Amino acid sequence: MIHQLLAEFMGTALMIIFGVGVHCSEVLKGTKYRGSGHIFAITTWGFGITIALFIFGDVSINPAMVLAQCILGNISWALFIPYSVAEVLGGVVGAVIVWIMYADHFAASAGEISPITIRNLFSTAPAVRNLPRNFFVEFFDTFIFISGILAISQVKTPGILPIGVGLLVWAIGMGLGGPTGFAMNLARDMGPRIAHAILPIENKADSDWQYGIIVPGIAPFVGAACAAVFMNAFFGIN
């Protein structure tokens, strides 16, 4: 169990290092890839998740996936909270590592980039704030995400799962990510949001806990639960 908890922690941290790192690289002043755009960022998220899955193997790196696996009977319910906590902590540590790496660029950007934009390097935010619609977007994105992973997992070709999940993330980001930033994962959003709250970032915005708890916090769990029930009932996947 300790080995698996560490794998969930490190796998989530690595995912966040790639993901938050690419946002910092694309936005902060003085980086080599500033202004590269969202295709650059979304592609890095997809590739980063693929690499994390290749390295750490059979990990969820997402509390929503842990919930789905508990519903399907593949993970004990007793492990739901420990796994989820390990993943959120991994998200915090991954974001802190990125902040250390980009500390000079954060300092250079302090007077040029708004505090809200800085916060959004760490956590997701809606393009248009409408909590019921934002909730639905994250619910549906996660439903497609978890359903897709469960379907891909049925293909037993070695190496197909990490690659398939990366392509799935890429497709969801391109097609469905515009309204909310497609968190689909409490650890992906809450971990870096906590890091943003505790780090000594100059002139930082509030952490917007209302949005963080309701939309990227709760909606992925609802989407994952519905995906697990649907994939089991319709396709017999468990």
- What is the average per-residue pLDDT within 149-157? 96
- Share above pLDDT 70 across residues of the chain, in percent, rounded to a whole number: 100
Give the model confidence (pLDDT) of 4-59 as tens digits: 999 999 999 999 999 999 999 999 999 999 999 999 999 999 999 999 999 999 99
Annotate 22-88 with three-state secondary structure: HHHHHHCCCCCCCCCCHHHHHHHHHHHHHHHHHHHCCCCCCHHHHHHHHHHCCCCHHHHHHHHHHHH
- Return the closest-CA partner of residue 93 out of 23, 13, 14: 13
As a whole number of angstroms, the distance between CA 71 and CA 54 comes to: 25
Render the burial of 28-63: b for 16+ CB within 10 Å, e for the rest: beebeeeebeeeebbbbbbbbbbbbbeebeebbbbb
Which pLDDT band, with edges at 50, 70 and 90, does 1 fall under?
confident
Which pLDDT band, with edges at 50, 70 and 90, does 133 fall under?
very high
Which pLDDT band, with edges at 50, 70 and 90, does 203 fall under?
confident
Average pLDDT, the chain: 97
Give the model confidence (pLDDT) of 171-188 as tens digits: 999 999 999 999 999 999
- Share above pLDDT 90 across residues of the chain, in percent, rounded to a whole number: 97
Give the model confidence (pLDDT) of 49-70 as tens digits: 999 999 999 999 999 999 999 9
pLDDT at 122: 98
pLDDT at 111: 85
- Return the closest-CA partner of residue 111 out of 18, 29, 8: 29
- What is the average per-residue pLDDT within 202-219? 95
- What is the average per-residue pLDDT within 221-230? 98
- The H helix count followed by the E strand count for the chain is 11, 0
Give the model confidence (pLDDT) of 94-123 as tens digits: 999 999 999 999 999 998 999 999 999 999
